Amino acid sequence: MKKNNKKSVYIALAADSIHHGHMNLIEVGRKYGEIIIGLITDSAIAEYKRIPYLNFNQRKKILSNLRGVSKVVPQNEYDYSKNISKLKPDYMIHGDDWKYGKEKSLRVNALKALKKYGGKLIEIPYTKGISSDALTKFHNLSLVTPDSRRGMLRRLLEIKKISRFIEAHSPISALIGENISITKKGKNLTFDGFWSSSLTDSTSMGKPDNEYVDNTLRLNGINNIFDVTSKPLIFDGDTGGKKEHFDMKIRSIERLGISAVIIEDKTGLKKNSLHKNTSNQTQENADIFAEKISIGKKAQSSDDFMIIARIESFILNKDVKDAMRRAKKYVEAGADGIMIHSKSKKPNEVFSFSRQFRKLFKNIPLIGVPSSYNHVTEKQLAQNGFNVVIYANHMLRASYPAMVKVAGEILRNGRSKESDKKLMSINEILNLIPGTK
Ligand code: SPV
Ligand code: MG
């Protein structure tokens, strides 16, 4: 076909990993006219799968520099029809793979929009043997640096309504959080990152959750997790320890590529917050705690790193007024976010806090840990102003009973045959970690 620069050609791409399949679309597009790329936005991608490795502007920069591309416009959802109706391109180009499977309805909608004004759909054979998702996964793992990983939490907060973090106490538990995904209503659901819990780090070492397991040990564990994963991590920093040590602590935590540390406003021998009786726990004076936060904020070297203040008022049977008084002080001291904790089975107190908090602070991230009020959904948390949900201990709590069961069964039976159906097969474990075979 003769080149006709007056005609416009629409191609929608996510283009997180650009490859020859994309170039096939562009090459054909060039023949038909000037190409407009509808670039899927970060938040549209995040609705359906893991956030892109490259952000919108980085992806836009690559595409804008391709021959034949006249402009790059945002496409705010996977559905093409809105942009098609708005831009009325003469042609739209797409791989023919969307005739089948889950993208079928997108094709129907695009065709409807094109038909309204006489636009044409050109389908070209799908380029086999290359997968954008597989490339992105490879990029995520092989190109992650401490800086890029650290910045992912702030990106998530910008892009997603609510981000979900799963506890990881070992590289193998973290690999589950890294790789697991399920498809629900056409969306690919994954965990956005990891929570390094003092409770499960201590418990998995057979130690009490009272700050005996020190930072050096815990950071060593996280380094091992980081060896094999790419997602961001939020670190449970307990009380933060002595304020005189806090600047050094922050530097060690930040340097590793951890995105945020959460410190709780308690003093004395730290005990876990979920104990029924917390009468032996003491909340720190709010001004002293605020000072610790500002020491930390001065010590960090990147803009991305976050120090989040955890308010223990409800744990210590105080009211929402006390929690709000503290929240104001901690935000003034520079806290980048607030975690509000509760051991109640109901979310009433955390929601009364979040309502008041949101009136005062529209954009300060709010983190919830629904361990005890676990009937509350992510959607409800988001509706109540929460930006991050942490599943704080679930991987360890899942694995321990499974191990106890099998160990008991082996004793009872004097052999392991009966336990086989509860175990992954030898073949599965040999295939689990690449390079084992
Ligand atoms: C942890 O996971 O260690 C926490 C959350 O600090 S909680 O156990 O609920 O106190
Ligand atoms: Mg803890």
pLDDT in tens, 133-145: 888 888 888 889 9
Which residues line the pocket of ligand 1, CB cutoff 6 A?
197-199, 236, 272-274, 369, 371, 392-393
The domains spanning 8-133 and 145-392 adopt the same CATH topology: no
Q: Which ligand is nearest to the CA of 195?
A: 1
Q: In this structure, are strands 181-184 and 187-190 parallel, antiparallel, or unpaired?
A: antiparallel
For the chain, give the longest Cα–Cα distance.
Answer: 82
Q: What is the distance between the alpha carbons of residues 80 and 95, in angstroms, rounded to a whole number?
A: 14
Taking the centre of ligand 2 as the mean of its atom positions, its distance from the CA of residue 39, in whole angstroms, is: 41
Under the banding of pLDDT at 50, 70 and 90, the label for residue 334 is very high
The pLDDT assigned to 126 comes to 83
Q: Which atom of ligand 1 is nearest to the CA of 262?
A: 6
Under the banding of pLDDT at 50, 70 and 90, the label for residue 101 is confident
Using the predicted structure, report yes or no on whether residue 348 has a pLDDT greater than 60: yes
CB 166 within 8 A of CB 395: yes
Q: What is the distance between the alpha carbons of residues 275 and 272, in angstroms, rounded to a whole number?
A: 6
Distance of alpha carbon 103 from its chain centroid, rounded?
Answer: 25
| Number of CB atoms found within 10 A of residue 96's CB | 12
What class does CATH assign to 8-133? alpha beta
The pLDDT assigned to 177 comes to 98
Using the predicted structure, report yes or no on whether residue 4 has a pLDDT greater than 80: no
- Looking at domain 145-392, its CATH superfamily turns out to be Phosphoenolpyruvate-binding domains (3.20.20.60)
pLDDT in tens, 128-181: 888 888 888 888 888 899 999 999 999 999 999 999 999 999 999 999 999 999
Under the banding of pLDDT at 50, 70 and 90, the label for residue 5 is low
Domain borders along the chain are 8-133, 145-392, 398-432
86 by Cβ neighbours in 10 Å (0-12 / 13-18 / 19+) ranks as exposed
pLDDT in tens, 200-209: 999 999 999 9
Q: Report, as residue numbers or ranges, the catalytic residues.
A: 209
CB 123 within 8 A of CB 99: yes
For residue 216, give the 3-state DSSP assignment: helix
pTM: 0.93
When the pLDDT of each residue in the chain is averaged and rounded to a whole number, the result is 94
Among 207, 263, 272, the mutation site with the greatest number of ligand 1 atoms within 8 A of its Cβ is 272
Q: Which residue's CA is the closest to the ligand 1 atom numbered 2? A: 197
Q: Which residue's CA is the closest to the ligand 1 atom numbered 7? A: 273
Q: What is the distance between the alpha carbons of residues 32 and 21, in angstroms, rounded to a whole number?
A: 18
Among 369, 371, 372, the mutation site with the greatest number of ligand 1 atoms within 8 A of its Cβ is 369
The region that residue 435 occupies, defined by phi over 0 for left and psi between -120 and 50 for alpha, beta otherwise, is left
For residue 298, give the 3-state DSSP assignment: helix
Q: Is the Cα dihedral 359, 363, 369, 370 positive or negative?
A: positive
Strand partners, 123: 94
Q: Which residues contact residue 401 at a Cβ distance below 8 angstroms, ignoring those fewer than 6 apart?
A: none
pLDDT in tens, 19-53: 998 999 999 999 999 999 999 999 999 988 889 99
Least Cα distance to 311 among 250, 356, 251 occurs for 356
Using the predicted structure, report yes or no on whether residue 302 has a pLDDT greater than 90: yes
Under the banding of pLDDT at 50, 70 and 90, the label for residue 312 is very high
pLDDT in tens, 382-424: 999 999 999 999 999 999 999 999 999 999 999 999 999 999 9
Residues 284-298 as b/e (b if ≥16 CB within 10 A, e otherwise) read bebeebbebbbbbbe
Using the predicted structure, report yes or no on whether residue 2 has a pLDDT greater than 90: no
What residues sit around ligand 2, an ion, with C-beta below 5 angstroms? 198-199, 236
Under the banding of pLDDT at 50, 70 and 90, the label for residue 55 is very high
Q: What is the distance between the alpha carbons of residues 107 and 17, in angstroms, rounded to a whole number?
A: 23
pLDDT in tens, 363-383: 999 999 999 999 999 999 999
